[in-house]
Amino acid sequence: NSVENGSFTWSSPSNIALVKYWGKKEHQIPENPSISFTLNNCKTITTVGFSKKENHDSYSFEVFLDDEKKDDFKPKIETFFKRVEVYLPFLKAYHFKIETSNTFPHSSGIASSASGMSALALCLMSIEKLIIESDEAMSAEESALSNEHFIQKASFLARLGSGSACRSLEGDLVVWGKHEAISGSSDLFGVKYPNEVHGHFKNYQDTILLVDKGEKQVSSTVGHNLMHGHPFAQQRFKQANTNLTNMVTILKDGDLDAFIALVESEALTLHAMMMTSMPYFILMKPNTLEIINKIWSYRKRTGSKVCFTLDAGANVHVLYPESEATSVLEFIQNELVAYCQNGQYICDVIGLGASKL
Ligand code: PMV
């Protein structure tokens, strides 16, 4: 092809699952469908510079995080390149300079793999699009790589980097995994939630309480694998399917009490799977439980519709409708910040997905 060099920059957000993905088959195929809110403020910004090279025998790339060379990121990206090379045949033809930064503090315990892998996948898709469009030998059909196909393939590639990353491209709700109530849903990529959503969920707030910024003792890759042969695995996968069916009704009707019950149960079930795998492990910290109890007593006292969810770590995502933004933030500042490491928390809101810069 005739493309010598260039660069693309994408910004991609993090996401928080309401119905959780935990357990996968080969090739990053999820054992159950999941649904997430796309975030707005927590994001990764990645620039991929590329220049044609002589030798096409191996990958050639360097990685920078906040302008600092990060050789420890290379194995993960090398594994990703190997997985996606069949879908992106140009990977050995160029040298890549991957420069990335996050809007949230590093080692905050906020996973950057979803936002990072989706930003990288989008940059690679932009390169592919450029190559296809600049190559006159390509058919008109191929060069008319539609926007929908572009996002879908980027999500497909992001999934191969980190499963939940395939839910980070679009907003404001994304489903990954085949489910009968969600038309177009697939195990291979995330799709924008196609059904009706009640106004209560507009601008839903997510304040992330940073409880423990340390490195997790058990990676999510190990955690997913522990679902193989897990005594409750089949029951859990069935439950997630049912929960997603119920979530469709909740999102349509705006039943916030039902939303709270489903979302909190999903969070605790995720951690229950960790506690009941062999070997077992616990990612929550004492302050995670303190916060959960405070949220429950605040809700009881005030009738608030605030609730929590967790991902694979100790941090707590506090979810609440926009109408309660002022009161819940006051509650967080008065009662919950004391349980955060260095008093740190991040205010976020549901967002619209990735953008090209
Ligand atoms: O994308 P992974 O392999 O890091 O898995 C993340 C799984 C959870 O965050 C715990 C749940 C989810 O659905 O995002």
Ligand 1 center to 56 CA (angstroms): 34
Candidate ranges 53-62, 98-107, 211-220; pick with highest mean pLDDT: 53-62
- The pLDDT score that the predictor gives to residue 144 is 61
Look at 92-96, 101-105, 125-129, 150-154 and tell me which has the smallest mean pLDDT. 101-105
- The pLDDT score that the predictor gives to residue 141 is 65
What's the whole-number mean pLDDT along residues 234-261? Answer: 98
What's the whole-number mean pLDDT along residues 312-329? Answer: 97
Q: Are residues 218 and 180 in the same domain?
A: no
Number of domains composing the chain: 2
Rounding to the nearest 10 degrees, give the CA dihedral for residues 8, 158, 39, 31.
180
Question: Closest ligand 1 atom to the C-alpha of 221?
Answer: 3
Question: Closest ligand 1 atom to the C-alpha of 111?
Answer: 4
CB of 31 closer than 6 angstroms to any ligand 1 atom: no
**Token pair listed for 325:** 């933004």
What's the mean pLDDT when you consider all of the chain?
95
CB of 34 closer than 6 angstroms to any ligand 1 atom: yes
- The pLDDT score that the predictor gives to residue 214 is 74
Question: Closest ligand 1 atom to the C-alpha of 28?
Answer: 3
User: Within 13 Å of residue 324, how many CA atoms lie on the same side as its CB?
Assistant: 22
Q: How far is CA 303 from CA 208, 219, 334, in A?
A: 21, 37, 18
355 in any annotated domain:
no
- Tens of pLDDT, residue by residue over 140-164, are 666 566 788 999 999 999 999 999 9
Mutational pocket test of ligand 1: of 35, 218, 220, 281, the residue with most ligand atoms within 8 Å of the beta carbon:
220
Ligand 1 center to 93 CA (angstroms): 32
Question: Where does a domain end: 124, 159, 193?
Answer: 193
Q: Are residues 216 and 164 in the same domain?
A: no
326 in any annotated domain:
yes
Dihedral sign for Cα 191, 194, 195, 197, please: positive
Residue 107 reports pLDDT greater than 70: no
CB of 185 closer than 6 angstroms to any ligand 1 atom: no
- The pLDDT score that the predictor gives to residue 109 is 67
Q: Are residues 188 and 210 in the same domain?
A: no
Q: Are residues 185 and 213 in the same domain?
A: no
The span from the CA of 77 to the CA of 63, in Å, is 9
A 10 A CB-CB count for 97 gives 16
What's the whole-number mean pLDDT along residues 88-95? Answer: 96
Question: Where does a domain end: 149, 173, 193?
Answer: 193
Residue 1 reports pLDDT greater than 90: no
Q: How confident is the model at residue 110 (pLDDT cuts 50, 70, 90)?
A: confident
- The pLDDT score that the predictor gives to residue 142 is 63
Ligand 1 center to 15 CA (angstroms): 9
The span from the CA of 43 to the CA of 24, in Å, is 25
What's the whole-number mean pLDDT along residues 132-146? Answer: 69
Residue nearest (by alpha carbon) to ligand 1 atom 4 = 220
CB of 164 closer than 6 angstroms to any ligand 1 atom: yes
- The pLDDT score that the predictor gives to residue 140 is 62
- The pLDDT score that the predictor gives to residue 135 is 76
198 in any annotated domain:
no
Q: Are residues 300 and 180 in the same domain?
A: no
A 10 A CB-CB count for 153 gives 22
Mutational pocket test of ligand 1: of 311, 315, 316, 317, the residue with most ligand atoms within 8 Å of the beta carbon:
311
Which range of residues forms the domain containing residue 143? 5-193
Q: If DSSP codes are grouped into helix, strand and coil, which group holds residue 270?
A: helix
Q: Are residues 215 and 307 in the same domain?
A: yes
- Say what the pTM is: 0.96
Q: If DSSP codes are grouped into helix, strand and coil, which group holds residue 85?
A: coil
CB of 167 closer than 6 angstroms to any ligand 1 atom: no
Dihedral sign for Cα 251, 313, 185, 43, please: positive
ipTM over 0.85: yes
357 in any annotated domain:
no
- The pLDDT score that the predictor gives to residue 139 is 64
Residue 356 reports pLDDT greater than 70: yes
- CATH number, domain of 56, equals 3.30.230.10
209 in any annotated domain:
yes
- Tens of pLDDT, residue by residue over 16-63, are 999 999 999 999 999 999 999 999 999 999 999 999 999 999 999 999
In which residue are the tokens 């609730």 written? 307
- The pLDDT score that the predictor gives to residue 138 is 62
Residue 326 reports pLDDT greater than 80: yes
Question: Where does a domain end: 166, 193, 220?
Answer: 193
Task: Tell how many helices (H) and how many strands (E) occur in the chain.
Answer: 9, 14
CB of 190 closer than 6 angstroms to any ligand 1 atom: no
CB of 213 closer than 6 angstroms to any ligand 1 atom: no
A 10 A CB-CB count for 59 gives 15
Do 175 and 191 touch, CB atoms closer than 8 A? Answer: yes
354 in any annotated domain:
no
